Chain A
Amino acid sequence: MAATQQSAAVEDSATRPGGASIRSSLTRWFFIGLSLLFLAALLLAPLATVFATALDKGVRAYVRSFADPDTAAALRLTLITALVVVPLNTVFGLAASWAIAKFEFHGKSFFITLIDLPLAVSPVISGLIFVLLFGLHGWFGTWLQDHDISVIFALPGIILATMFVTFPYVARELIPLMQQLGNDEEEAAITLGAGGWMTFFRVTLPKVRWGLVYGVILCNARAMGEFGAVSVVSGHIRGLTNTMPLHIEILYNEYNFVGAFAVASLLTLLAVLTLVVKTLVERTGYRRR
C-alpha cells in the first residue's frame, strides 16, 4: 500500500514539467553515484586486489600454486562439504518454511526464532558448541571414542558446523514468500484431484522457485566461505581437515602471498560462478514466460 503510494508519488513528480523534474533527476543521479562509490570502495577495490596480488608473480606462479597437494585437498574438502550441506539444508528449509507458512501450531514463533539462531550466534560459538558436544571431553566424547568414531577434527565435524551456520538461509528466503503467496493455488490443485506430492512438485515448487534458487545460492556461498565455526572444529590439519578459507589463512601466515591470494581468487571465482548460474537459470525461466 505504502509502496504503491510512494511509487505513484515518484511517478507524479517525474512526469511533472518544469523545475521539479530537474531537481528529481539531480536527486536520482546523486543517489546512483553514491551507491556506485560505495560499491567501488567496498567491493571492487578488494576484488581487484585479490586478483592483482594473485597474479603478482606472473601466471605461471599462479597456476603452480594449485599444484600443491594440500591446496587441492582443501579445494576437494570444501566442495564435498558444500555438496553435502547445501542439499540437506535445502530440504530442511523447504520443510520448515512449508510448516511455518501453511500450518498453525503451538510454539510457531519459538520455532522461527530457533531458525534464526545461527544468524545471531557468533560462528566461533557455533563451532565451540560441537566441540563441547562431540569433543574428547564433551558429552558424547567418550562414547564416540569407544566406538572409534571421530567427529571433531574430521569431516563430520566440519559438515555439522557448516550445516549449523548455513541452515537459516533457504528457510529465511522461503517463509515470507510462501506466506505472501498463500494457499489458494495448492487448494485449487487439491480440489482438481492432485495428491500431496503432485501439488508440491507441480504447484508449490514452481511457485517459490526464485526464492529457492536465491536461498540455495546464499547457502552455498556461506558453506564454501565459512571460516569461524569450521576453524574451531577442523583442527587445521594440512591436507586433511583444511577447507579453502582455512588454507588461505595458513598460506598467508607463511608469507606465501601468491598462494594465499590464488586460492582466494579461486574461492571468489566459485562465488562468481554461482551468481552466473543463478542468472542463467533466471534467464531461461523468464524466456519461458
Chain B
Amino acid sequence: MSITLDQVTKRYQGVPVVNDVSLDIGDGEFFVLLGPSGSGKSTLLRAIAGLSGVDHGRIALHGRDVTHVSARERGVGLVFQNYALFRHMTVAENIEFALRVRRMKGADRRQRRQELLRLVALEGMDQRLPAQLSGGQQQRVAVARALAHKPEVLLLDEPFGALDAKIREELRRTIRQVQRELGITTVLVTHDQEEAFAMADRIGVMNLGRLLEMGGPNELYTRPATRFVATFLGAANLILGRQTKDGIRFGERPVSAISAVPPHGLREHEVVAVVRPEEIEVAPTREALASGYLARGAVDEIVFTGALERMRIRLDGGADALTLAYSNGDGNPYLEVTRTQHEQRAFEVTKGQSVAIGVRRVHVLPTPLSSFTVCAANEALMIALAQQPMLVELASRMKTRISTRMEPMLGVPGAQCGDATAFSGTTVIASQPDVAHQAEWLLQRGADEVLVLPVNALPPQRVLIHWADEAVRSATLAVSASVLRHVSAEAVYIGILPQLTPTAQRPHGMRALLDARSEAQAVHGLEMRTELRFGDVAPELRRQLGESPGQMLILGVCDVTRLAEPFGSLLESARWPVLLVRRENRENEDSVP
C-alpha cells in the first residue's frame, strides 16, 4: 500500500473536520477525494502531506509511519489550487528548487529539468517568470516542480479550480498521462464529480469530515449506499417505497429493482429508492411505455442543454401518488428527467403536457433510516416537534421528509392506533414525563426506530452508541452509521460491564468491544471510538450524557415491553435526544452485507 490512513481525526476548536477516516491507496493508483467545500477533503490531503498535524490516528506512506514526520521529510509532491509557484524565480529555478535543496550537481539538475519540462510539454520555457505564463502553463510548472525530487506520492489539491473549461480538459489529460507514465500513486482533491469520474481509478466521497463511500466511478454511480453519494454524484430522484417479500413497491405498483439485500431482513418496511434522471422514460400513455409504469405527471419545465434535454415533471396527486423522499423546497413533488436527442425525436414533449412516467432501473439504498414521522397526542406539540431545528436539519441533510401523525391515544395501554396504517420509518416523539411508555407503545405497534427528542435539542457533537443486548448490535450499528453520515459528530461506542465483573471475564468484554468496532467499520463503514465502563447500564449512560452538552444517545433495545424500568429516566430527562433501535425478532437478519 502506498498510502494508509488509520482513523485519522483532525479537529478545529473541538469540532472534527476530518472524522475517523481510514483508507488504503494502492501503488500507482489514481485516487480522487470528492466532496463539497468544507467536507474536510483538503484538510485530509494536507494531513497526508504533513502540512497539518492530526489529533488522532496514523498515517503511513509505503509502510513507513509518518504521522510524526515533518512535511519536509515526507518526500511527497504537492500541487496547490493557485499554483504557489515562487514568483520571483524563473521556471527553471522553480523546478530545480527541490534538487538544489538536495544539493544535486548543476549538470544533473539541468538534465532532470529538461526531462520534466518535456513531460509537461513546456520545453523551452526555462527562463520565463511565472507571471509571463498562462494559468494552465503555471499549473504545468507546478506539477513539474512537485515531481522533481521523484516523490513516491503526488498530491493534487483542486489543481484545475482556477482554470477555464478547455484548459482544464487538456491539463487533466496531461496529468493522467504523466501519472500513468511514471506509475506514481496520486491523490486528487476536487468538488467536481465530472472531474472525479474522468480521472479516478477509485473515488472516495467525503462529507462533514467523514469518508462516506469508496469505489470505482461506475460502481459508485450505479450503486451508491448513501443518500449523500447518490445525490452528490449526479442528479438523483429519491423515492420512498416499500420493500416487500416480492420486491419493491411504489404505492401499489411493484417495480423490479436492483438492490442489495434489504437492511431489515425480509419484513416489509419502508425504503429509499434512487432513480437516476436518465433511467426515467416518458410516453403519451401508460401502454406506450417500454418500462415499468410509475406514475402520471405534467411537464413543468424543459431545458435544452445540447446533447441532453432536462425536464422537471410535476407528479399528479391522488391516492396512488408517488411519495418522494423530499421535494425541492416549494413542497411540490417533482421528478428530474433527462432525455437524449434520440428519445426526444421519438416523442416530442411540450411544456404542460401530461405524460406517463416509466422507470427503467431502480436502486434501493441499503440505509435503514428512510423518513421521519412526528407523532404526538395533541396538535400543538406535533407542530412544535415537526419544526424542531435539529430534526429539520437532520431531515434536510438526509434529503428526506418529515410527516406528521396525530395519535390521541399515544401511550395508553391496549389502545389501537388512530390511523389504521402501520408506522413506517423513524417515529419522533417529544421528550416528556412518561415518554418511555409511549416509546414502548410505538415499538409494539410496528415503529422501526423511535427518536425521543427534547423540543430544545441542538445538533449533537458526540453520539454515544450502546445496545442492551448483542442481538441488536447489527441493527443499532446500521442506524448509527446512517445518522452519523449526516451530522458532524464523533461516534463513541460505550460498552458497559457490571461493576462486579470478575477480572478473568474482562478480556471477554474487551473482545466484544473490538468486535463491535470492526463490524461497524467493515459492514457499515462507520468509524467509531470505543470506551469500556463498569457499572449499571442506565446510570452509567446518564452520567456520560450529563458530562457535557451536545450529546445524543443511540440505544439498541431488545425487549420492548420493559423500557420504562431501566431507561425511563434516560428518556424523560429532556436534556438529550435518544434514538431507540428495536431488534426485529421474527426474521433472521444477522448478515447485512
**Contact across chains for B82 and A192 when beta carbons are under 8 A apart:** no
Asked if B592 is at the interface of the complex by the 8 Å CB criterion, the answer is no
Q: Quick one: given A184-B82, A206-B88, A207-B88, are A191 and B49 in contact (CB under 8 Å)?
A: yes
Q: Which B residue's beta carbon lies closest to that of A199?
A: B72
A191 and B72 contact, CB distance less than 8 A: yes
* Given A188-B84, A207-B88: A193 in contact with B101 (beta carbons within 8 A): yes
A187 touches B149 (CB 8 A): no
A285 to chain B, nearest CB (A): 9
Alpha-carbon separation in the docked complex, A206 to B129 (Å): 14
Q: Are A194 and B87 touching (Cβ within 8 A)?
A: no
B77 at the interface (CB under 8 A from A): yes
In chain A, positions 4-48 with a C-beta closer than 8 Å to chain B are: none
A184 touches B84 (CB 8 A): yes
Interface positions of A from 182 to 196, Cβ below 8 Å from B: 184-185, 187-195
Question: Would you call B76 and A203 a contact (CB within 8 A)?
Answer: no
Interface residues in chain B, defined as those with a beta carbon under 8 Å from any beta carbon in chain A = 49-51, 70-78, 80, 82, 84-88, 97-98, 101-102, 129, 131, 142, 145-146, 148-149
When distances are taken between beta carbons in the complex, the residues of chain B under 8 Å from A202 are 86, 97
CA distance A110 to B233 in the complex (A): 47
Cβ contact of A185, chosen from B50, B74, B86, B101, cutoff 8 A: B86
How many angstroms between the C-alpha atoms of A190 and B49 in the bound complex? 10
Name which residue of chain B comes closest to A209, CB basis: B88
Given the complex of chains A and B, what is the CA–CA distance between A184 and B76 in angstroms?
15
What residue in chain B is nearest A289 (Cβ atoms)?
B129
Q: Which residue of chain A lies nearest to B79 when distances are taken between CB atoms in the complex? A: A188
Q: Evaluate contact between A184 and B101: CB separation under 8 angstroms.
A: no
7 nearest CB pairs, A to B: A184-B84, A192-B98, A206-B88, A188-B84, A193-B101, A191-B78, A190-B71
Tell me, rounded to whole Å, the shortest Cβ–Cβ distance linking A286 to chain B: 11
A192:B84 contact, CB within 8 angstroms: no
Judge whether A187 and B98 touch: CB under 8 Å.
Answer: no
Q: Residues of B contacting A207 with CB < 8 Å?
A: 86-88
Taking the closest CB of chain B, its distance from the CB of A131, in whole angstroms, is: 46
A30 smallest CB distance to B (angstroms): 35
Identify which of B86, B88, B102, B142 contacts A193 (C-beta below 8 A): B102
Q: How far is the CB of A4 from chain B (nearest CB, A)?
A: 16
Contact check, B80 vs A193: say whether CB atoms are below 8 A apart: no
**Cα(A78)–Cα(B205), bound, Å:** 66
Interface membership of A269, Cβ < 8 A = no
Contacts of A185 in B (CB 8 A): 84-87
| A198 adjacent to chain B (CB < 8 Å) | yes
Name the one of B78, B85, B101 contacting A194, with C-beta atoms under 8 angstroms.
B101
Q: A188-B84, A189-B86, A207-B88 are in contact. Are A195 and B72 (CB under 8 A)?
A: yes
Output the least CB separation between B185 and chain A (Å). Answer: 15
Nearest chain B CB to A204's CB is how many angstroms away?
10
Please determine whether A184 and B72 come into contact, CB atoms closer than 8 angstroms: no
With the chains together, A129 CA to B257 CA distance in Å?
84
Determine the chain B residues whose CB is within 8 A of the CB of A194 once the complex forms. 72, 97, 101
Q: Compute the total of residue contacts between A and B using a CB distance below 8 Å.
A: 64
Q: Of residues A184, A190, A192, A202, which shows the largest number of chain B Cβ atoms within 10 Å of its Cβ?
A: A192
B195 to chain A, nearest CB (A): 21
Residue of A nearest to B131 (CB): A289
B327 to chain A, nearest CB (A): 36
In whole Å, how far is B402's beta carbon from the nearest beta carbon of chain A?
40
Determine how close the nearest CB of chain A comes to the CB of B95; give it in whole angstroms. Answer: 10
Q: Which residues of A contact B (CB under 8 A)?
A: 184-185, 187-195, 198, 202-203, 206-207, 289
Q: B88: which A residues are within 8 A, CB to CB?
A: 206-207
**For residue B142, which residues in chain A have a CB less than 8 angstroms away from its CB?**
188
Q: Which chain A residues border B76 with CB–CB below 8 Å?
A: 191
Which residue of chain B lies nearest to A195 when distances are taken between CB atoms in the complex?
Answer: B72
What are 27 pairs between A and B in contact, CB < 8 Å? A184-B82, A184-B84, A185-B86, A185-B87, A187-B51, A187-B71, A188-B80, A188-B142, A189-B86, A190-B72, A191-B51, A191-B74, A191-B77, A191-B78, A192-B148, A192-B149, A193-B72, A193-B75, A193-B101, A194-B72, A194-B101, A195-B72, A202-B86, A202-B97, A207-B86, A207-B88, A289-B131
CA gap between A190 and B71 in the complex, in Å: 6
Residues of chain B with a CB closer than 8 A to A195's CB: 72
**Bound CA–CA A190/B85 (angstroms):** 13
What separation, in Å, do the CA atoms of A203 and B85 have in the docked complex? Answer: 10
User: Is the CB–CB distance between A193 and B98 below 8 Å?
Assistant: yes
Distance in angstroms between the alpha carbons of A191 and B146 in the assembled complex = 8
Q: Which residues of B contact A193 (CB under 8 A)?
A: 72-73, 75, 98, 101-102, 149
A190 engages B101 (CB within 8 Å): no
Assembly CA distance A258 to B80 (angstroms): 63
- Chain A residues, Cβ within 8 Å of B85: 185, 188
Shortest CB distance B42–A (Å) = 12
Is A187 a contact partner of B84 (Cβ separation < 8 A)? yes
Name B75's closest neighbour in chain A (CB-CB): A193
- CB < 8 Å: which of B70, B97, B148 contacts A189? B97
Contact of A192 among B51, B70, B129, B145 (CB under 8 A): B145
Given the complex of chains A and B, what is the CA–CA distance between A289 and B49 in angstroms? 32
What CA separation (Å) do A195 and B70 show in the bound complex? 10
**Separation of A16 and B77 alpha carbons in the complex (Å):** 49
For residue B341, give the distance in angstroms from its CB to the closest CB of chain A.
40
A206 to B89, CA, bound (A): 9
Closest Cβ of chain A: how far from B94's Cβ, in Å? 9
Which of A190, A191, A203, A289 lies in contact with B86, CB distance below 8 A? A203
Q: How far is the CA of A194 from the CA of B88 in the complex (A)?
A: 17
Q: Which of A188, A195, A206, A207 neighbours the largest number of chain B CB atoms within 10 Å of its CB? A: A188
Given contacts A191-B74, A193-B102, A202-B86, 14 further A-B contacts (CB under 8 A): A185-B84, A185-B86, A187-B71, A187-B80, A188-B80, A188-B142, A189-B97, A190-B72, A192-B97, A193-B98, A198-B101, A203-B86, A206-B86, A207-B88
The verdict on A190 contacting B97 (CB below 8 Å), with A185-B84, A206-B88, A207-B87 known, is no
A-side contacts of B80, CB under 8 Å: 184, 187-188
- What is the chain B residue whose CB lies nearest that of A191? B78
Contact assessment for B78 and A187 in the assembled complex, using a CB-CB cutoff below 8 Å? yes
How many Å lie between the Cα of A191 and that of B72 in the bound state?
5
Nearest CB in chain B: distance from A202 CB, A: 8
Bound complex: CA A193 to CA B473 (Å): 48
CA distance A289 to B127 in the complex (A): 10
Which residues of chain B are within 8 angstroms of A184 by Cβ–Cβ distance? 80, 82, 84
Q: A193-B149, A289-B129 are in contact. Are A188 and B102 (CB under 8 A)?
A: no
The minimal Cβ–Cβ distance linking A10 to chain B, given in whole angstroms, is 24
In Å, the complex CA distance between A193 and B150 comes to 12
Q: Which residue of B lies closest to A187 (CB)?
A: B51
- Shortest beta-carbon distance, A183 to chain B, in Å? 9
Chain A residues within 8 Å of B129, by CB:
289
Residues of the A chain whose Cβ atoms lie less than 8 Å from the Cβ of B87: 185, 207
Are B101's CB and A188's CB within 8 A? no
Q: Nearest Cβ distance between residue B93 and chain A, in whole angstroms?
A: 10
Which chain A residue shows the least CB distance to B142? A188
C-alpha spacing A42/B72, complex, angstroms: 54
Which residues of A have CB within 8 Å of B82?
184
B270 to chain A, nearest CB (A): 47
Q: How far is the CA of A191 from the CA of B80 in the complex (A)?
A: 11
Which residues of A lie under 8 Å from residue B71 when comparing CB positions?
187, 190-191
For B84, the chain A residues whose CB sits under 8 A away are 184-185, 187-188
Q: Which residues of A contact B97 (CB under 8 A)?
A: 189, 192, 194, 202
A189 to B86, CA, bound (A): 9
